[in-house]
């Protein structure tokens, strides 16, 4: 009988036909070099309008331990992430973007911290975001500032690649339907006393395609942040009883 995976890597994908093949190639070079991780990869294709699904269906046959979840219609990044988490079996889980902005060679930096039991959550931090246009850069800075001010935290990056102990996700049970889903996990984990570790991560920028993040999406995330802020104390009380 095969062992349960030590770590599950989850990749939500939407309209990344120009990036996904190279991303999977780079990712698997690292994964195949680390059979000791006993890993699994879960790709969630979120009803892309371009050729993403066809590319993935061709590429996926090249790689072992890889599962594909298909959404017939676009349900959004958060739904894709949650579906990947629900389908995973690992003791630890890690979210990776499909746009090739994250450098897969950094994976050992995340996994080794988990292996050594030094943290319950590992957050990648983009100290430099040179690939962002000025507007997107300031949007990100303001977003982080507002979340830290609202929740009295000092987190340097809420929405980059992250790795978690499964217990963290089980107890935090994120309910957000926006980009706030990752901050929600972090804030709840902090309130529950889990150990959070930040590590530097390189932001490479997109080589092709276009980000879907805009003011409307960021605004919805901040709205959900405000909603959770109002219920944060009562949520914590339910966890302590």
Q: Please say whether the beta carbons of 119 and 186 come within 8 A.
A: no
pLDDT band at 1 (very low <50, low <70, confident <90, very high): very low
Q: Give the count of beta carbons closer than 10 Å to the beta carbon of residue 9.
A: 30
- Give 150-166 pLDDT, tens digit per residue: 999 999 999 999 999 99
pLDDT band at 209 (very low <50, low <70, confident <90, very high): low
Q: How far apart are CA 175 and CA 82, in angstroms?
A: 9
Classify each residue of 28-37 as buried b or exposed e, where b means 16 or more C-beta atoms within 10 Å of its C-beta. Answer: bebbeeeeeb
Q: How far apart are CA 123 and CA 161, in angstroms?
A: 7
Using left for φ > 0, alpha for ψ between -120 and 50, and beta otherwise, residue 15 falls in left
Tokens of 126: 């983009």
pLDDT band at 94 (very low <50, low <70, confident <90, very high): very high
- Give 212-240 pLDDT, tens digit per residue: 667 788 889 999 999 999 999 999 989 98
Which of 187, 180, 169, 168 lies closest to 235 in space, CA to CA?
187
Q: Is the pTM of this model over 0.85?
A: yes
Which of 77, 78, 70 lies closest to 42 in space, CA to CA?
70
pLDDT band at 200 (very low <50, low <70, confident <90, very high): very high
pLDDT for 2 beyond 60: no
| Across 187-199, average pLDDT | 97
What does the angle CA 9 – CA 13 – CA 19 come to, to the nearest 5 degrees?
Answer: 100
CATH 3.90.1520.10 applies to domain 7-240 = no
Q: Give the count of beta carbons closer than 10 Å to the beta carbon of residue 142.
A: 12
Which of 215, 228, 203 lies closest to 99 in space, CA to CA?
203
| Across 202-209, average pLDDT | 72
Sign of CA dihedral 150, 132, 84, 167: negative
- Phi, psi (deg, nearest 5) at residue 114: -65, -45
Residue 68, strand partner residues:
43
Q: Give the count of beta carbons closer than 10 Å to the beta carbon of residue 132.
A: 19
In terms of Cβ atoms closer than 10 Å to its own Cβ (0-12, 13-18, 19+), residue 192 is: middle
């Amino acid at each position: 009988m095969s062992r349960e995976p030590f770590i599950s890597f989850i990749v939500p994908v939407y309209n990344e036909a120009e990036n996904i093949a190279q991303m999977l190639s780079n990712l698997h070079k690292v994964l195949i070099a680390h059979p000791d991780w006993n890993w699994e990869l879960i790709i969630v294709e979120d009803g892309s309008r371009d050729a993403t699904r066809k590319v993935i269906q061709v590429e996926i046959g090249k790689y072992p331990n890889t599962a594909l979840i298909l959404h017939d219609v676009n349900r959004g990044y958060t739904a894709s992430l949650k579906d990947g988490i629900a389908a995973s079996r690992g003791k630890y889980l890690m979210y990776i973007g499909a746009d090739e902005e994250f450098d897969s060679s950094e994976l050992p930096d995340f996994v080794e911290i988990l292996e050594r039991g030094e943290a319950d959550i590992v957050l990648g931090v983009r100290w430099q975001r040179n690939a962002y246009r000025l507007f997107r850069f300031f949007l990100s800075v303001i977003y982080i500032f507002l979340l830290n001010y609202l929740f009295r935290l000092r987190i340097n990056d809420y929405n980059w690649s992250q790795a978690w102990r499964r217990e963290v996700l089980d107890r935090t049970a994120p309910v957000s339907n926006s980009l706030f889903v990752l901050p929600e996990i972090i804030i709840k984990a902090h309130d529950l006393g889990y150990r959070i570790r930040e590590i530097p991560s390189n932001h490479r920028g997109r080589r092709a395609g276009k980000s879907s993040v805009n003011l409307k999406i960021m605004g919805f995330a901040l709205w959900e942040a405000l909603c959770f802020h109002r219920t944060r104390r009562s949520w914590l009380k339910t966890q302590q009883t």
